[in-house]
Amino acid sequence: MKKHFLLVTTLLSLSLGTAHAQKEDSLTIRKIYDEVLEHGKSYEWLRQLTSEVGPRLSGSKGAEKAVIWAKDLLEKQGFDRVFLQEVMVPHWVRGKKEEAFILNNKQKVAVPLVALGGSVATPAKGITAEVVEVHNFQELRALGEDKCKGKIVFFNRPMDAKKISTFEAYGGAGDQRRSGANEAAKVGAIGMIVRSLSSTLNDHPHTGSMVYATGVPLIPAAAISTNAAELLSKSLKENPSLQFYFKQNCETLPDVLSYNVVGEIKGTEKPDEFIVVGGHLDSWDLAEGAHDDGTGCVQSIEVLRLMKNLGIKPRRTVRAVLFMNEENGVKGGQKYAELAKQNNEKHLFAIESDAGGFTPRGFGIQGGSANDLTKILTFKDLLDPYGLHEIGKGGGGTDIGPLAPLGTILIGFKPDSQRYFEYHHTPIDRFENVNQRELELGAASMASLIYLLDKNF
Amino acid sequence: MKKHFLLVTTLLSLSLGTAHAQKEDSLTIRKIYDEVLEHGKSYEWLRQLTSEVGPRLSGSKGAEKAVIWAKDLLEKQGFDRVFLQEVMVPHWVRGKKEEAFILNNKQKVAVPLVALGGSVATPAKGITAEVVEVHNFQELRALGEDKCKGKIVFFNRPMDAKKISTFEAYGGAGDQRRSGANEAAKVGAIGMIVRSLSSTLNDHPHTGSMVYATGVPLIPAAAISTNAAELLSKSLKENPSLQFYFKQNCETLPDVLSYNVVGEIKGTEKPDEFIVVGGHLDSWDLAEGAHDDGTGCVQSIEVLRLMKNLGIKPRRTVRAVLFMNEENGVKGGQKYAELAKQNNEKHLFAIESDAGGFTPRGFGIQGGSANDLTKILTFKDLLDPYGLHEIGKGGGGTDIGPLAPLGTILIGFKPDSQRYFEYHHTPIDRFENVNQRELELGAASMASLIYLLDKNF
């Protein structure tokens, strides 16, 4: 009887203890959201970054300005430490604006086209050739040199609209942009154009990176808008021997010294263990990089500000890392992991926000044990009231990826994805397309998760 | 042993049966989403409604055009039956554009102001008076006639930014707009202005309805933009005896004959039982009523189109109802319920989409038994992959509300709420602020839910 009584009281006190901890966590998370929704700073910081710094492709003056801006901003917050990490980054420049036309009989229709990042230029007089439309590499290979030699290969497989996650649709179409030029060159094409990776029909060509394979001729690669892709495809059906002209003036200059920008709050108990939250500071050159990835940068800084401001003292050191060169090289992400390894820094978790500043839906977890995942899933009840319903396997992030071999658990912040690929890598990825509350909720989501991770692991 | 064997095989076949049904449901829902995301019509319909019809306040020419447009569109779809329901609706007109100024010493600062729907006009020369700023009715009553007589009462309690659901924040501030004029008149005020019910600081005044109480003087009531409210409040702190001037020219004309527009697909098994999906066809006069509630209308029609197009034959009759006069009277909703009762129509479920065309998050259920709710919650696994995580008590809708006494289970469609109150009742509630995929996902969500309700109840 006594034994039973003991067991009951022990269980009771344990469960009261848990209930008490849950209550405390719930109040802390509520405080984080209150602070962000009433006094959040990330929106104003994003306004500064997009308007005062603007486009900031790796190696550009804009990227240099962004580093100074970010370091200055972090220093003003009075965090425990702010520092730069040197990293050499590629320096690709677009040069003079591209030109492109469909030449159909006597008609000459201008087409919105942008060079893909990393591409070579066309000859000075441009390229004029017939067009072979294909939808995947298999189809291209089946056509072979016979049908493709001396022509421009046109990849026209759209993002699959049926995918609920537009990132899945993007993933399913991305090979055309990344490797299309190599595949086209292998069958003798002299140029490659790709339908923009966009979730809607519009007139904005989307740039993005491509990488030349070794041993394959370097042919110029460009993206045309989705509307132009539809038009070109239709025109080809009417006149298979129409010609396409494009001229681009891009070039790759020598690598440039640049920086990751890091701010940190020292851990009270385990200062040598780290939790990272980050986004990438570089953007494409066409726009001011609001959703990609200004939002991830300002949210990461806001996470630290929230902790400091609310007196949340993390047991581990929490770092906001603004990575350089996600778009065309990931040199910043690689350097960060290299230094972490070199300095024997134990990185428990790294969270990346690089999917836009939209309403938070959850987190994707990559790495760690089944037990780790189970523990993270116990946070569900605390995060549910804030719309964070999608917590599970998946996720990660390009910049934090290189930390995986160090045993770090990688977490991708998952905002709602419906609008992202309208803006992604286009001139309309602008501040006015970011919603203040949606952005702020993202910062609060990540701050809450870090609070829970730090406390429970 | 035999008994056990029997039990086991029965359980097994039951569970296989359930698994089979779940599989079938899962495939049907996938088909609904595929169709909507690849061939959805609602976005093009919304473009027509907003650009070709435009603003459509009850009693206006626009509302008349909207009825014709909707009936015509429904008829073109070849549904089993399309009909109108006559209903008399209020006819309030704004008249000539309003004027307003803060008169602070010798400064005269123009202020964006709109009359509230239902308000009387000011005298022809406008109203000029000192301003008393308050934040709630209690504060106003404490000040009393002494401080308020002959003045303009200014309600300046913002929507609570801390609420995650902006609808909760709207609910918490709405009394000022709806009843502020009555409370102000009771303490002798000669006019009432209210801070716009907006989730951000901006220059768009938000209109909306107000209702005069009986036995209280009718004083003019208007909303000013949130930026103007901030400015006025600041100016009052510096100079409490500044004056405010406004002039509005609205009036209430005799009631007008208008219509609910209804389309239906006849039920195969129980044609006399009904499931309703609807939105409201009227809008405020300031804008083209895209999110409020063009989206709800086109989604409702799309639900029927999806069922017809995919060969989903409902057991009950499914109706798309475009209600007239949600904004300032709910006469259409009341008439619909009145006729349902009169015709002895058994309405099992009514779903309303009137929270904007944003990414779906779930459904709020109102009415029905605990068992009903439990049964609806069994749909969770089928709806989860589509981001419909928030299914539970709450919800309903203004137009379907009058069906409650008939025992109808009311369901409010819940899209993400973060952006809604930037557009709501303002000139920027426009087509270009609706995202195609977000809109279409809403139609698919409701079609899927109706499919499951019809099959399982």
Q: Residue A33: which of B162, B200, B389 has the nearest Cβ?
A: B162
Kindly state whether B212 is in contact with chain A, defined as any CB-CB distance less than 8 angstroms. no
Q: Which helix (H) or strand (E) holds B112?
A: none
Q: Is the pLDDT at A10 greater than 70, yes or no?
A: no
Contact predicate B50/B431, CB 8 Å: yes
Q: B223 pairs with which residues across the strands? A: B114, B194
| Beta strands per DSSP E along B156-250 | 191-195, 221-224, 243-247
Q: What percent of chain A has pLDDT over 70?
A: 96
* Position A395 confidence tier, pLDDT thresholds 50, 70, 90: confident
CB A422 within 8 Å of CB A428: yes
Q: Is 80 exceeded by the pLDDT of residue A6?
A: no
Mean pLDDT, residues A299-303 taken together: 98
Write the pLDDT tens digit of every residue in A232-285: 999 999 999 999 999 999 999 999 999 999 999 999 999 999 999 999 999 999
| Cβ <8 Å between B386 and A164 | yes
CA distance A288 to B183: 49
**Residue B68 near chain A (CB below 8 Å):** no
Judge: A162–B387 Cβ closer than 8 Å, yes or no.
no
d(CA B222, CA B177): 8
Phi, psi of A181 (to 5 degrees): -65, -40
Strand (E) positions, A105-150? 107-110, 113-115, 127-134
Residue B73 has pLDDT above 80, yes or no: yes
Judge whether B160 and B173 are in contact, CB under 8 Å: yes
Nearest to A34 among B162, B361, B438 (CB): B162
Q: Place B61 in a pLDDT band, splitting at 50, 70 and 90.
A: very high
Contacts of A360 in chain B (CB under 8 A): none
Asked if A33 lies within 8 A of B200 by C-beta distance, the reply is: no
Determine the distance in angstroms separating the CA of A389 from the nearest CA of chain B, rounded to an integer. Answer: 7
pLDDT over 90 at A406, yes or no: yes
10 Å CB burial of residue B106 (0-12, 13-18, 19+) is exposed
- Rounded mean pLDDT, B223-233: 98
* The pLDDT of residue B15: 64
Instruction: Confirm or reject contact between A165 and chain B (CB < 8 A).
Output: no
| pLDDT at A15 exceeding the cut of 80 | no
A–B CB contacts, 8 A cutoff, strictly below: 63
CB contact under 8 A, B199 and A37: no
Closest chain B C-alpha to A260 CA, distance in angstroms: 32
CATH number for the segment(s) A30-92+254-456: 3.40.630.10
- CATH assignment of B30-90+254-456, among 3.40.630.10, 3.50.50.60, 1.25.10.10, 3.40.720.10: 3.40.630.10
ipTM of predicted assembly, 2 dp: 0.94
Beta strands A191-195 and A221-224 are parallel
What's the Cα-to-Cα distance from A83 to each of A71, A73, A79, A262, A450, rounded to whole Å? 7, 12, 11, 5, 21
Q: What is the pLDDT of residues B97-114, one digit of tens each?
A: 999 999 999 899 999 999
Task: Tell me if chain B has a CB within 8 Å of the CB of A47.
Answer: no
Q: Is the pLDDT of residue B409 over 90?
A: yes
User: Which of A328-332, A387-391, B5-9 is predicted least confidently?
Assistant: B5-9
CB atoms within 10 A of CB B221: 29
| H-assigned helices in B77-136 | none
Preferred mutation among A31, A159, A164, A438 to probe B, highest tally of B CBs within 10 A: A164
pLDDT tens per residue across span B423-445: 999 999 999 999 999 999 999 99
- Those residues with Cβ within 8 angstroms of residue A416's Cβ, 6 or more apart along the chain or in another chain: A358, A359, A360, A361, A438, B359, B387, B416
DSSP code, position B209:
B
Of B380, B321, B353, B312, give the one whose Cα is nearest residue B438.
B353
* Cis bond upstream, residue A72 (ω within 30): no
For residue A429, pLDDT over 80 is answered with yes
Domain boundaries, chain A: 30-92+254-456, 95-249
* Phi, psi for residue B102 in degrees, rounded to 5: -90, 125
Contact B346, B273 (CB under 8 A): yes
Task: Provide the pLDDT for residue A13.
Answer: 59
Element (H, E) at B121: none
Which of A437, A439, A441, A448 is the mutation pick for testing B, counting most B CBs within 10 A?
Answer: A437
CA–CA separation, B406 vs B341, rounded Å? Answer: 7
Of residues B387, B437, B438, nearest to A361 (C-beta): B387
Instruction: Determine the distance in angstroms separating the CA of B350 from the nearest CA of chain A, rounded to an integer.
Output: 25
Sign of torsion, CA B436 B441 B442 B446? Answer: positive
Nearest C-alpha in B relative to A416? B359
- The CA-to-CA distance between both ends of chain A, in Å, stands at 36
Q: What is the mean pLDDT of residues B232-261?
A: 98
Interface contact A359, partner B, CB < 8 A? yes
- CB nearest B359 (choices: A37, A386, A418): A418
The CA distance from B157 to B143, in Å, is 16
Q: What is the pLDDT of residue B20?
A: 81
* CA dist., res. B288 & res. B66, Å (int): 11
pLDDT of residue A232: 98
Q: Say if domain A95-249 classifies as CATH 3.50.30.30.
A: yes
* A164 near B CB under 8 A: yes
* pLDDT at residue A71 in the model: 98
- The pLDDT value given to residue A251: 97
Q: Return mean pLDDT, chain B.
A: 96
Distances (CA, A) of A311 to A74, A304, B179, B248: 17, 11, 41, 50
State the catalytic residue, choosing from B98, B264, B302, B326: B326
Q: Report, in angstroms and rounded to the nearest whole number, the Rg of chain A calculated over CA atoms.
A: 24
pTM for the model stands at 0.95
Do the domains spanning A30-92+254-456 and A95-249 agree at the CATH topology level? no
Average pLDDT over residues B210-223: 97
Q: What is the band of A21 on the pLDDT scale with cuts at 50, 70, 90? A: confident
pLDDT attached to residue A234: 98
Nearest CA in chain B to A166: B437
Does residue B16 or residue B141 have the better pLDDT?
A: B141
**Per-residue confidence band for A286, with pLDDT thresholds at 50, 70 and 90:** very high
- Note the pLDDT tens digit of each residue in A302-351: 999 999 999 999 999 999 999 999 999 999 999 999 999 999 999 999 99
Q: Identify the CATH assignment for B97-251 out of 3.10.129.10, 3.40.50.12280, 3.40.50.460, 3.50.30.30.
A: 3.50.30.30
The whole-angstrom distance between A270's CA and the closest CA on chain B is 33
| Length of chain B in terms of residues written | 457
Q: Would the pLDDT of B289 be above 90?
A: yes
Q: Which residues of B touch A422 (CB under 8 A)?
A: 435
Distance (Å, whole) CA A309 – CA A64? 29
* pLDDT at residue B144 greater than cutoff 60: yes
Residue among B161, B385, B438 minimizing CB distance to A37: B161
pLDDT value at residue A14: 58
Residue B169, pLDDT > 80, answer yes
B369: left (phi over 0), alpha (psi -120 to 50) or beta: beta
Mean of the pLDDT values across residues A162-169? 98
